[in-house]
Amino acid sequence: MPGLAGGRVGVGWPAGRASREPCLLRVVEAANGPLVAPYESKRRAASQRVPGRPAPPPPAPPPAIPAGRSAGQFLNEWESQRLLAPYGLPLVDTVFVTAAAAAPDAADQVGYPVVVKICSAALPHKSDVGGVALGLPDRVAVAEACRRIDAEVRAKAPGVAVEGFVIQRQARGALELALGVKTDPVFGPVVMVGSGGVLIEVLRDFRLLLPPIDAAAAREALLALRIGALWDGVRGSAPLDLPAAVALLERLGEAARGLAPVVSEIDLNPVLVGRRGEGVTVLDALVKL
């Protein structure tokens, strides 16, 4: 059986990127040369050549799966966040409510402006059914957005089970990334990082890594992207927070290892990267069992 460095790795992505979900990775064997980043194969080979180098510690046991969910199903966004939170991912500030009447108070708690999204495991493509409202400045706007979202979802997805709404702080950033995980039956968990937005489709700008991911491999993957020159700033713009993006990749690698027994896919998309020192923020998280 060929190793990962001897096969071709591809990425499958939905045509409707406006919805921003889900990211579905595919690992495909082919006779062509490898697309796996050379740093990853070299790192693994070097690790195997060093006598006495300790193996990585085993991952922690995965958290409990939410009741009523089974293999092959998506979790809703709130459940996805709760499953990923123990791994230290920088998830956007979020409050979950089961009723629209509670949304304005939740928005007050998060701080304006906010984003309101429908929360339903049956609707991974929330934007496709009118399930997202952005840039809401106050309680009145939040209440109206919930009414509109509820009406549109009922019209476009009649009968679908809805668990509630998520209210999130509307974050800002200087660069958008997309990250994902696919648990492959041959290679195990495979982590992807790529340019966010349409760039991942147009430029095929992504890298794949096998966890555990150390800081050196994460940094080299991020710098190897076609947008790599942006990390140091261009045309007088401030440098971006590369260390925070490196830390996110490391933590996602641990999440991929720890959740591999129960999770088949993870999508973090979009991820906003701030200027140096401002950190990174995962705006949307989606998990498939």
- Give this prediction's pTM: 0.80
3-state secondary structure (DSSP) of residue 254: helix
Q: What is the largest CA-CA distance in the chain?
A: 65
What does the block give as tokens for 235?
A: 């045309």
Contact (CB, 8 A) for 106 and 167: yes
Instruction: Evaluate whether 70 touches 289 at the Cβ level (below 8 Å).
Output: yes
Query: pLDDT truncated to tens, each residue of the chain (289 aa)?
Result: 223 322 223 333 333 333 343 433 433 233 233 334 444 454 454 444 445 556 777 776 777 777 778 788 999 999 999 999 999 999 999 999 999 999 999 999 999 999 999 999 999 889 899 999 999 999 999 999 999 999 999 999 999 999 999 999 999 999 999 999 998 888 889 999 998 866 666 667 889 999 999 999 999 999 999 888 888 887 778 899 999 999 999 999 999 999 999 999 999 999 999 999 999 999 999 999 9
Cis peptide before 212 (omega within 30 of 0): yes
CB 49 within 8 A of CB 236: no
In residues, how long is the chain?
289
Co-location of 165 and 176 in the same domain: no
In a domain, 77, yes or no: no
Mark whether 30 and 102 lie in a shared domain: no
Neighbours of 286 (CB within 10 A): 26
Residue owning tokens 């460095």? 5
Residues 127, 97: Cα–Cα separation, whole Å: 19
The alpha-carbon radius of gyration of the chain (Å, integer) is 19
The residues, ordered by sequence, that sit 6+ positions from 137 with a Cβ below 8 Å of its Cβ are 112, 113
- CATH number where 266 lies: 3.30.470.20
Q: Do 274 and 186 fall into the same domain?
A: yes
Main-chain dihedrals φ then ψ at residue 220, nearest 5 degrees: -65, -35
Q: Which domain holds residue 109?
A: 93-169
**Do both 179 and 42 map to the same domain?**
yes
The token pair that represents 223 in the structure block: 């710098």
- Total domains in the fold of the chain: 2
Domain identity same for 116 and 190:
no
Q: What is the DSSP letter of 98?
A: S
Same domain, residue pair 279 and 178: yes
**Whole-number Å distance between alpha carbons of 40 and 164:** 41
10 shares its domain with 145: no
Please give the Cα distance from 187 to 175 (Å, whole number).
30
- Strand locations in 120-264 (E): 132-136, 164-169, 175-184, 188-195, 206-209
- Other C-beta atoms closer than 10 Å to the C-beta of 49 total 8
